[in-house]
Amino acid sequence: MLLLLKSQAVVNNLEDAHEQIDNAISTALKESKPVYISISCNLPSIPHPTFSRHPVPFFLSPRLSNQKNLEAAVEAAAAFLNKAVKPVLVGGPKLRVAKASKTFAELADACGYPFAVMPSAKGLVPEHHSRFIGTYWGAVSTPFCAEIVESADAYLFAGPIFNDYSSVGYSLLLKKEKAIIVQPDRVVIGHGPAFGCVVMKDFLHALATRLKKNTAAYENYRRIFVPQGEPLASEPGEPLRVNILFKHIQQMLSANSAVIAETGDSWFNCQKLKLPEGCGYEFQMQYGSIGCKQNPNLSEIQVTAQEVSTMIRWGQNSIIFLINNGGYTIEVEIHDGPYNVIKNWNYTGLVEAFHNGEGKCYTAKVRTEEELKEAIEESLGPKKDCLCFIEVIVHKDDTSKELLEWGSRVSAANSRPPNPQ
Ligand SMILES: Cc1ncc(C[n+]2csc(CCOP(=O)(O)OP(=O)(O)O)c2C)c(N)n1
């Protein structure tokens, strides 16, 4: 896995260990980015006066905006947006590191613009808000969202990351001259000017007081919007379809749930879930690494299949749906080859082996809607204290329509001829 480290400390003597460790930890806290601390294995047991058993007072200087730059950025952005006819807002994944989710929601509330979310920012903006218009990612956006965003005459993106995946193989129909891009410490308006040393939270907060209320884009959305249909009902005994599975997952969500969307077709199916207020959402499109589990105290940790045994050991009562479609389906849609067919395992058998009679664990293999319903009822009822693992067997070609569309576009981008040297 590729980790973008913000700093690293290599501690091989005691004299500067406290400085190096404090520096690394404060960098991690300030930047909300990983750091790496390597400590020689012969050091930890040796006492040193700077290491105490009790917490040491510690002060982190807060990030501050340059006031002049902030005022200039707000002034320019307000002039840009106040002259627009149908502006929109879009929340991006860096709202998280900028700790600006709440301020973004306050801005959206104040200005009356409709707001969308980029796929990797799902969970960072309030979806229950009446002017939330869905996920924006070009051709695979939720219905009516891309049309409103791309036809707007001005859009503000707060904390976006436009990579090959979030830009659907670089196929977004956005124009730089219509965009304000707000990054955690920088604002760029159209092709310029750019304002540095401006903290996103300060900027969004100040902008909210300067924008004229404009609901034009929201009203356009509302006029054209038609609610989504339901998947076709399944016949008794019919092999289970993924869209039926997600209909049931949608019904399970509440303020007490958090959805963790794994890399694969689950990305696309989970993206379409409507999150009730308070429902968490975790997912990352930066590395697309396979396997992660949220820990309420730690934010997020990376795990492998074997870590499911650790979940059982620590008594976690998550519900895992493993969609057994017999292959690496997302890879099939990007670039197919014989390596995308994987040897089918007995996945429930694997979890039972991890369980090995110790801890609380429930497994089920389901092939029809009836079996799925029963497994969900068990997981929420008698087995609610168990780690519940439901293997859902589906047809190998059963994918979301969004994966098919996205896969074709990413595939086209991946097979561009190399740049001339
Ligand atoms: C550690 C790691 N190995 C390989 C990959 C490449 N990769 C991305 S998605 C994927 C397949 C995912 O398959 P699955 O979890 O079965 O989901 P599906 O696409 O079938 O829904 C692979 C191999 C990766 N992103 N990370």
pLDDT, tens digit, for every residue of 357-373? 999 999 999 999 999 99
For ligand 1, pick from 163, 265, 271, 290 the residue to mutate: most ligand atoms within 8 Å of CB: 290
CA 342 / ligand 1 centre spacing (Å): 11
Any atom of ligand 1 within 6 Å of the Cβ of 303: no
Q: What is the pLDDT of residue 291?
A: 61
CB contact at 8 A, 196 and 186: yes
Distance 304 CA to ligand 1 centre (A): 12
- C-alpha distances in Å from residue 263, one per residue of 74, 253, 338, 381, 406: 38, 20, 20, 29, 14
- Range from 30-44, 61-75, 173-187, 382-396 carrying the lowest mean pLDDT: 30-44
Shortest-distance atom of ligand 1 to CA 291: 1
- Which runs of E-coded beta strand occur in 141-185? 155-158, 179-183
Distance CA 360, CA 335 (A): 40
Q: Which atom of ligand 1 is nearest to the CA of 342?
A: 16
Q: Helix, strand, coil: what percent of the chain each, to 5?
A: 35, 20, 45
Alpha helix segments (H runs only) across 356-400: 369-380
> Looking at ligand 1, which atom is closest to the CA of residue 288?
25
Asked whether 399 lines ligand 1 (CB < 6 A), one says no
Mutate which of 263, 302, 393 to test ligand 1's pocket (most atoms within 8 Å of Cβ)? Answer: 263
Per-residue pLDDT tens for 80-113?
999 999 999 999 999 999 999 999 999 999 999 9
Ligand 1 center to residue 284 CA distance, Å?
A: 13
- Report the nearest atom of ligand 1 relative to the CA of 264: 19
Instruction: Please determine, for residue 303, whether its predicted confidence score (pLDDT) is greater than 80.
Output: no
When pLDDT is averaged across residues 300-318 and rounded to a whole number, the result is 78
For residue 332, give the ligand 1 atom closest to its CA.
19
Distance CA 116, CA 188 (A): 19
Pocket lining: 331 vs ligand 1, CB cutoff 6 Å: yes
Mean pLDDT of the chain: 92
Model confidence over 283-292: pLDDT tens digits? 888 877 776 5
pLDDT score recorded for residue 3: 55
Q: Are the C-beta atoms of residues 234 and 299 closer than 8 Å to each other?
A: no
- Tens digit of pLDDT for each residue in 145-154? 999 999 999 9
